[in-house]
Structures are given as structure tokens and as C-alpha cells.
Amino acid sequence: MDELIKNFLEDFGAVGIAILMLVENIFPPLPSEVVMPWAGYAVSQGRISAVAAVLAGSVGSFAGAMFWYFVGKRIGKDRLLRWVKGHGAWLTLTTGDIERTDDWFDRWGGWAVLFCRMVPGIRTFISVPAGFAEMEITRFSICTAIGTVLWTALLTGAGWWLADQHGSLAKPLSWVSWIVIGGLFLSWLWRLLRQQRSVAQN
């Protein structure tokens, strides 16, 4: 995966960064924790400016966040609760998860969006509860933009630094890829087992 990302960014530059970050937000198994450090590597090689890399990554990521926001808004809380009740088990989602998320938004609002846009594994889907909670779109956009720019800048800087330290990003980033994907899988598996145990006890 690392070599494919590297080659794609070499061929398409800033446009490639934006496309991959859009895909990352719609298809989470392609993590931003891999895409943006490669953009930082391109910056270190003089192929693109740091500003262009961060801007392109932020635009793609923001577009993906808006996609999920409108999905959540279109579905609505009631329909989402019905869907989760019937089909949420394989995603380890329960109606209680949805209710807690809704309460969380009532309490923290924009701060929840801003912070979660910088949390791996959560950043992609935080837009869905924001949508069904009918968070005001201007506020959502501002909070999403701030969190997104901070996150893409951090990852770009990390890639730039790793390139200076190691010369090649292939080895360190391959570890990052496996750690991120493995962590997401283990988190899903743990929630699934806990949910099944709870059902068995009841």
C-alpha cells in the first residue's frame, strides 16, 4: 500500500493528495496516518510546497467529512436507531451508543467535532452523529476545518521529519500502516466479543 500511495502522489501531486484524503474519509481502511506523511515526504523532496500539501489534504478530508454529515442528516436519528437495532451487531453498534453520542453532542457540540477530527478511528465517522444531531452547518464546517487542518499539518510535518531522519519512509510507514489497521480491527473485535457476552448474560 505504501508504494502505491507514494507513486500516486508522485504522479498527481496536490490533486493526488486531495483525492486520497477524500477516499480516506469515505473508505476508512485507507488511513490518513499513512497518506499525509507521504505528502510530507514529497515536501522534503521539493516536489510540492508544505502549504500546498496541507491545503490539498485538508480540502479532500473536509469534502469527505461533509459527505458523512449530509448522510447523517438525511438518515436522521430515528431511522438510524431503527437500522442499528436491526443491523448494528456486525458493526458492534447499539442504540445505546447512538444515544450516548447524541448526548455527547448536546454537551460538547463543536468541541467534539474539532477534537475528534484529530483522533484516528473516530475522525471519519464523527460527522454522522453531527448530521443526525442537526448541528448548525456553519459551526460544523468551521470546527471540522480547524481540526482537519491541524491534523493534516501534524501528519505532513511528521512525514517531513521522518524523511530527514531516515531518508526513506518505506520502513517506518509500513509499521504505522499495520499498527493503525491492526488497532482498528482489535478494537472492533473487542467490542464484538463484549457485545456477544452481554447478550448471552441477558
Supply the pTM of this predicted model.
0.78
Secondary structure letter of residue 135 according to DSSP: -
- How confident is the model over 101-114, as pLDDT tens digits? 777 777 888 898 99
Asked whether the beta carbons of 163 and 45 are under 8 A apart, the reply is: yes
Alpha-carbon separation of residue 65 from 92, 144, 193, 194 (angstroms) = 22, 8, 29, 29
Residue 124's identity, in one-letter code, is T
Choice between 49 and 81, residue whose per-residue pLDDT is larger: 49
Report the number of distinct structural domains present in the chain. Answer: 1
- How confident is the model over 51-108, as pLDDT tens digits? 999 999 999 999 999 998 998 899 888 888 888 787 766 666 677 777 777 777 778 8
Q: Which helix (H) or strand (E) covers residue 60, if one does? A: helix 50-87
Q: What is the pLDDT of residue 18?
A: 94
Domain assignment of residue 112, given as a range: 2-201
Mean of pLDDT values over 46-54: 93
The total of other beta-carbon atoms located within 10 Å of residue 81's CB is 18
